[in-house]
Amino acid sequence: MKTIIEKREFIREVDVDKKNDFLFELLHNNERLMARFEEFVKDYDPLASTTKRKLNPLAFEDELIETYEAFKEGLSELDFTEVTPRYKHLQQSETSTESKTKADIAQFEAKEFYGAWQSDFLYEISSGYIYQALAMVYGMMAAAIEAEITDPEHFLGKSANKFFISLLTEDLQSLITNYFEVGETDPKDVLTITDITLNFVKKHNIGIINHYLPFFENVVTSPELADSIITKLKDNVVPVIVIPELTDLLTSRTGKVAEWRSAMESIFPENYKMTLKLLNYYYNHAPEEFDHMAMNAFKRYSLEIEDFIENKIKQGSPLYCQLWLAKASESKSFSDYSEARKYITKEESINFAKEQEDIDFKLQILTNEKAWDEILIMAKSKQSANLLHKLLPIIVEYHPDDCYQILKNNIVHLFRHQRHREGYVKLAQYLKFGQTILENNKQMEDLIAHYQDLSQKLPALKDELKNYGL
């Protein structure tokens, strides 16, 4: 059986004389059908092709389902694994890269494919079948979200699906703006479309309805209609977290602030956009709760919400400190850290330093806090063997014996396990380093002398000690 789209295309291609002959054969022996045709002619409005025809629920549902299935099948058959120029203006120029050219070709062909479908719903619009056009775009949008499109090289961008979703979003917005004027759509039609849409997305993916938001933005203009749609969503057990923006829109238009707030709090802080909206509400209408809620949001989004909260929080507050510490961690800036340090304890500062991966920034903070014991703990770690040149000079004044022991342990380990030229180079470096930072230290001098004696039987070690002036 042909789909609605195929039927429409076939009928459109048949010439007028053939259509007239067929219509006569169909009607002249069928009085009931003839009566319906006469009624149609009598009521026919020549302006109907430029005005919106009435909603036909069955036709809308059929169009939605059949367009979804056909468009999804078409998308699934697309394959951008190999693309070659079919048009002269897309052939590679001397200045373009091969990958750029292939991306241009793929995107051109994708738009060409989409354009064939676009012409169908534009034809429906020109004929006054606005609701049918809406059903087509709805079906295409659902298909674009769910279809598996072959584009391994990402010629259409990070997501081939998003490429088509973007095209459809633009056309849907244009359709809604031009043909669904604010407040002029019959609420009964809105509810009917909502029912059909919900039944459809429940069988596929509830989240699809988020892409139909422009429709609801234009047609839901009364608290009563908003309430009715909310009831339908609840009856269909649609979770708020799945439709955050639609929930925001509908609850806002009920005029019931408490209901809107409750809905937004139920998904806080999972949705970024709604999180900022709720925080803005707290800042303006419930300032006593703002810092607490903003802190929870900051734990989730960190510096993503920096611009929003920076001028809304109190200087010196816990959130203020967390913000500046996060900025410092990101920038490795001691000045950013210093702003937070004005309001936090030494213990908090040391704990922050211990969390930092950048060794120079970490040491800068620990040195500022005179946290010599913490630096010593770092130096004793086996993982810090290659960092001793940074760690020991900072603490040698306060822990000379420990510094000597750390160096000795590393030197002994090298001599036991790396008896080769490269190991001797490292050993000589350690000895020279110890001589420098532990100047006039008897233990260090004895250790150097010990390896000088050993080097008499080890020419390679002797060479390396000599290279480092030992």
pLDDT at position 4 over 60: no
Per residue in 424-437, pLDDT (tens digit) is 899 999 999 899 98
Alpha carbon distance 459, 440 (integer Å): 27
Per residue in 345-359, pLDDT (tens digit) is 999 999 999 999 999
Residue 47, CA distances (Å) to 43, 44, 121, 187, 231 in order: 12, 9, 19, 24, 37
pLDDT at position 8 over 90: no
Alpha carbon distance 104, 90 (integer Å): 7
pLDDT at position 361 over 70: yes
Domain ranges in the chain are 45-179, 181-267, 314-370, 373-470
Q: Give the pLDDT score at 15.
A: 81
Number of residues that make up the chain:
470
Q: Give the pLDDT score at 332.
A: 94
Q: What predicted TM-score, i.e. pTM, was given to this entire model?
A: 0.71
Residue 463, CA distances (Å) to 20, 176, 231, 460 in order: 107, 84, 87, 5
Q: If you ran DSSP here, which 8-state letter would residue 382 be given? A: G
Q: Which residue has the higher pLDDT, 318 or 384?
A: 318
pLDDT at position 404 over 80: yes
- Beta carbons within 10 angstroms of residue 64's beta carbon: 25
8 A C-beta contact, residue 304 and residue 326? no
Q: If you ran DSSP here, which 8-state letter would residue 14 be given? A: S
CA-nearest of 233, 163, 161, 153 to 201 is 233
The residues near 385 (Cβ < 8 Å, ≥ 6 apart) are 410
Per residue in 15-53, pLDDT (tens digit) is 877 878 787 788 777 777 777 677 667 655 544 445 678
User: Hey, what are 296's tokens?
Assistant: 């929870």
Per residue in 240-269, pLDDT (tens digit) is 999 999 999 999 999 999 999 999 999 999
pLDDT category at 2 given cuts 50, 70, 90 is low
